[in-house]
Amino acid sequence: MAPHSNSDLLNLTRLVNTVQQLSLAVDIQEVMQIVRTVARELTGADGATFVLKDENLCYYADEDAIAPLWKGSRFPMEICVSGWVMLNKKPAVVPDINKDDRILKEIYGKTFVKSLAIVPIRTLQPLGAIGNYWAAYHQPTIAEVNILQALADVTAVAIENVNFRSTLEEKVKERTKELLESLNKEIASNEMKSTFVSMASHELQTPLSAILSSATLAEKYSKANQQNQQEKHLLRIKASANNLINLLNDFLSVDKLQHGKVSTTTEYFELGGFLRDVITEVDSMRKEGQFIHYTNLGSVHVVLDKQILHNLMLNLLSNALKYSDKDVNISVNTIAGKTIIKVEDKGIGIPEQQQKHLFEKFFRASNANNIFGTGLGLYIVKHYVELLGGTIDFVSKENVGTTFTITLVNKIIY
């Protein structure tokens, strides 16, 4: 075996050092920068290019040369010598570019290139090529081609490592994001539970106390002539029980909305009769002398989720009754293929500076502190309206009243 020359040993040492550098490369740009520089040094070439396969094109991604070559350019695989290398999965050695049919003369004729050697990056399924170019006619030796191919082989490994690291980092980021989202949901859930416990200790006292006191008094009014007093306390018990049910339903609804557990099922029904049933349902919540007036312009049939519409209308009507001592108006109208439902009260209204927070979770206006409520009703209503594909707007003035307008843009049938 012939002894290695000093040049061979230097190239081998340089290649080993390059392998170490490439093992630490964090992206493809760093890989290309290392490889193009080393490619020139190993062969004494006047230029080197780093070519990547871009589907059916050769993309000259980077270069290190005495004069500009083709950095940033793309050429079809079939007309480019780098493409020939990748398609044939073997090196191309060209001592004279003028005597080789694989060379596109109009492209190379504008450069300093007289001779070249190009090797594929990964021979089984090439993903690119490394090209070395000389300004004077040069016969690339077998040793030069072999060392260049060795560099291309370690480059393939480096690119795969970078891609693997990038994929792994993306998966770590994605998993971290999922964990953070899960953690935030858990924190939000715990905060809501904590808020519920805190609120329950305060808000449940009023209706429970009312139920207990009314039940005790109702027992005392057992005589025939005391029926009116007994009915009064029974109605008070019923109203307080409804308050408790509404409180619990609010929290259950928020939990379902936050965890995406609310699904929609549409059905065909007549809106007028449906709303009259809802009005009957909240009848026990009316204060003495308070009435609900309902008007509509003709029969309106809709295709909607009946349960979701029921829940949001129940919330709006109970709020209107709760925050007002006067009558409540509800109306339905159809305009340009849309159904518009309005709920109007003449109650305490919402302070103007606080109106921007109206649909936020747990928001309660400063003038409603003495009225039973969770601050979740309108947050739920807004989400329910959106599930129906509609919009909700309001107009409110303190001590004058509030009007909520729901516009349904679903398929409407008249």
Stretch 59-68: mean pLDDT: 90
Q: Are 377 and 282 in contact (CB under 8 A)?
A: no
**pLDDT tens digits, residue range 298-316?**
677 888 888 888 888 888 9
Say if CB 70 and CB 49 are below 8 A apart: yes
pLDDT in tens, 15-50: 777 777 777 777 888 888 888 888 888 888 999 999
Q: What is the pTM of this model?
A: 0.46
Strand partners, 334: 339
Euclidean distance between CA atoms 254 and 305, whole angstroms: 18
- Rounded Cα–Cα distance for residues 78 and 54 (Å): 13
The predicted pLDDT at position 3 comes to 46
Q: Tens digits of per-residue pLDDT, 140-188? A: 989 888 888 888 888 888 888 887 777 777 787 888 788 888 778 777 6
Q: Order of strands, edge to edge, in the sheet holding 266-270?
A: 266-270, 301-305, 412-413
CATH superfamily assigned to domain 6-168: GAF domain (3.30.450.40)
Give me the sign of the Cα torsion angle 16, 17, 22, 24: positive
Write the CB contacts of 79 (distance below 8 Å, at least 6 apart in sequence): 104
Hey, what amino acid is at 57? L
Phi, psi dihedral angles at 391 (to 5 degrees) = -135, 160
pLDDT at residue 364, rounded to an integer = 82
pLDDT score for 95? 93
Residue 313 token pair:
């209308």
Q: Which of 348, 324, 323 is nearest to 399 (CA)?
A: 348
How crowded is residue 224: how many other Cβ atoms within 10 Å of its Cβ? 5
Confidence check: pLDDT of 87 > 90: yes
- For the domain made up of 262-413, give the CATH fold: Heat Shock Protein 90 (3.30.565)
Write out the two tokens for 52: 């990547």
Q: Are 382 and 394 in contact (CB under 8 A)?
A: no
- Give the pLDDT mean for 87-99: 92
The pair phi, psi for residue 281, each rounded to 5°, is -65, -35
**pLDDT value for 412:** 46
Alpha carbon distance 277, 103 (integer Å): 85
Long-range contacts of 85-91 (CB under 8 A, 24+ apart): 85/118, 85/119, 85/120, 85/126, 85/129, 86/53, 86/58, 86/120, 86/126, 86/128, 86/129, 89/120, 89/123, 89/124, 89/126, 90/120, 90/123, 91/117, 91/118, 91/119, 91/120, 91/145, 91/148, 91/149
Q: What is the pLDDT of residue 326?
A: 92
Residue 125 has pLDDT above 60, yes or no: yes
Token pair recorded at residue 258: 């936050």
Listed residue (314, 269, 270) closest to 292, CA to CA: 314
Using DSSP's 3-state secondary structure scheme, residue 278 falls into helix
Averaged confidence pLDDT in the chain: 81
Confidence of residue 367 (pLDDT cuts 50, 70, 90): confident
Report the pLDDT value the prediction gives residue 248, as an integer from 0 to 100. 66
Evaluate whether 116 touches 43 at the Cβ level (below 8 Å): no
Q: 216 versus 366: which is more confidently predicted?
A: 366
Query: Strand 401-408 vs strand 292-296: parallel, antiparallel, or unpaired?
Result: unpaired
**Per-residue model confidence (pLDDT) at position 247:** 61
* pLDDT band with cut points at 50, 70 and 90 for residue 224: low
What is the predicted pLDDT for the residue at 24?
74
Which amino acid type is present at position 43? T
Q: What is the DSSP letter of 360?
A: S
Cβ atoms < 10 Å from Cβ of 142: 8
What's phi and psi for 289, nearest 5 deg? Answer: 80, 5
Residue with tokens 């919540």: 285
Question: Which one has a higher pLDDT value, 238 or 105?
Answer: 105
User: Measured between alpha carbons, how far is residue 73 from residues 55, 87, 103, 108 in Å?
Assistant: 14, 19, 16, 13
DSSP assigned state of 283: G
pLDDT band at 117 (very low <50, low <70, confident <90, very high): very high
CA distance 267 to 264: 10
Closest CA to 323 of 388, 264, 367: 367
- How does pLDDT run across 241-291, given as a tens digit for each residue? 766 666 666 666 666 666 666 677 888 888 888 999 888 888 877 888 889
* Predicted confidence band of residue 195 (pLDDT cuts 50, 70, 90): low
Strand partners, 340: 333, 407
DSSP per residue over 145-210, as a string? HHHHHHHHHHHHHHHHHHHHHHHHHHHHHHHHHHHHHHHHHHHHHHHHHHHHHHHHHHHTHHHHHH
Tokens (6 digits) for 106: 């109009």
Report whether pLDDT(346) > 80: yes
pLDDT at 84: 94
Res. 208 pLDDT band, cuts 50 70 90: low
